A and B are shown apart, each in its own frame.
Chain A
């Protein structure tokens, strides 16, 4: 019975997937008002259904933290604090509104402050890392370190003042050497993406849709 249900579910999922994918393709390559209407409706459904996923995070983290606090696992006081903060934050946010000045100030003073500080700290680790790793032992390190340093210096205003064409050299490097690497990644990634999409449409990529699991 469960095998039959799994079979039905797998094929139903595949049918939804194929219809959804083809709607996006047909509407672009063929002129059909009916296909356009279906594609647009499915896209709106997608954005609407996806809005529920905004609540997945809090469900997951609460189920994890509650278990951890009950068992008095390591860091449980912090997790208890985080749960209380989450509840208070949700009440404050819903009460004041997402676009209110109070919410904006609270968000900027906590989450954004912390995130900027965490990312900003990377410069310390980066420079101490550069001190240790940019030691020219091979031609590869020479090339890598030299170009990285060239970019660091060319972007600096003092260099642009000493060498007025520094900015032109920066963009030449970015738009030619830098862009070439990214373009290669875009072409190869594009081909890989199309292949992956075809595999999904053919039902060869099963893991993401839990098609291999039994009910």
Chain B
């Protein structure tokens, strides 16, 4: 039997790095199929009447949430086209930056030629600490909990808050994070529909709540879900780029696992020969 040498980690890393550089320079553009889960999320947003208030609540660690941003950005674009309104509720210290990133990248503000005007169609609140206490209090009475927006403007002077008082005014809650605990209060206690732009690592965790509330919680799956939502909205963002490189990387993962097992077989043969 042919002796297969044990590869050093550095050799594998060089191959992987080359794959990423290659796909970055020459995007392959492998087409992907639409999944039912993403379509359901899209259709629900599409079915909301213009003027409905959507909350972008959650987000914790920006770098992880970058995966959710692919679908979130596309969804914000979709909401702006449909005439929906958005209130960003940061529940993590990095959430303000993440939510600004999503809104800016979606180019929905009028300063970018989009249809949204700050304070009228969307607003960003400051970070509210307290986790579950912040969510429950927000759902109970928005004006009792929050007094200013992130820039220090009193919310009583922002028109969007004239229509947002408590959970009854919220048409949809979107969560671009591992916000499974938020579902307990938002959907579990108040019955508000929720779309989770779940990270791939958190999909299974989130899907538990999708099964408990089958007609109220929808999920997209990681970068693939993001790419699918981008496709539905007609944009090419990070989701597309991520799936492009993932196409090649997935082949290399399988290749290295096969190689590792061949190395195992070869070492077993070697040991048998030594024993003989």
* Candidate in A153, A168, A182 with the most chain B CB atoms within 10 angstroms: A182
Interface pair B253/A130, CB less than 8 Å apart:
yes
| Range class of the A interface residue count | 35 or more
Shortest A192–chain B CB gap in Å is 15
* B interface residues, how many (CB within 8 angstroms): 67
Indicate whether B7 reaches chain A with its CB closer than 8 angstroms. yes
Interface pair A124/B13, CB less than 8 Å apart:
yes
Interface pair A131/B224, CB less than 8 Å apart:
no
Interface pair B257/A97, CB less than 8 Å apart:
no
Cα–Cα, bound, A107→B98 (Å): 10
Q: 0/1 per residue, B122-140, Cβ < 8 Å to A?
A: 0010101110011011001
Interface pair A152/B250, CB less than 8 Å apart:
yes
Point out the residues of chain B lying under 8 angstroms from A166, CB to CB.
33
Indicate whether B221 reaches chain A with its CB closer than 8 angstroms. yes
Interface pair A107/B260, CB less than 8 Å apart:
no
Shortest B27–chain A CB gap in Å is 12
Shortest B167–chain A CB gap in Å is 13
Interface pair A181/B204, CB less than 8 Å apart:
yes
Interface pair A179/B207, CB less than 8 Å apart:
yes
Indicate whether B156 reaches chain A with its CB closer than 8 angstroms. no
Given A99-B150, A112-B63, A135-B261; A182-B16 close (CB under 8 Å) = no
Q: Which 4 A-B pairs have the closest CB atoms?
A: A178-B204, A115-B63, A47-B130, A157-B32
Chain A interfacial positions (CB closer than 8 Å to B): 24, 28, 36, 40, 43-44, 46-47, 50-51, 53-54, 97-99, 104, 107-108, 111-112, 115-116, 118-119, 123-125, 127-128, 130-132, 134-137, 145, 149, 152-153, 155-161, 164, 166-168, 170-171, 174-175, 178-179, 181-183, 186
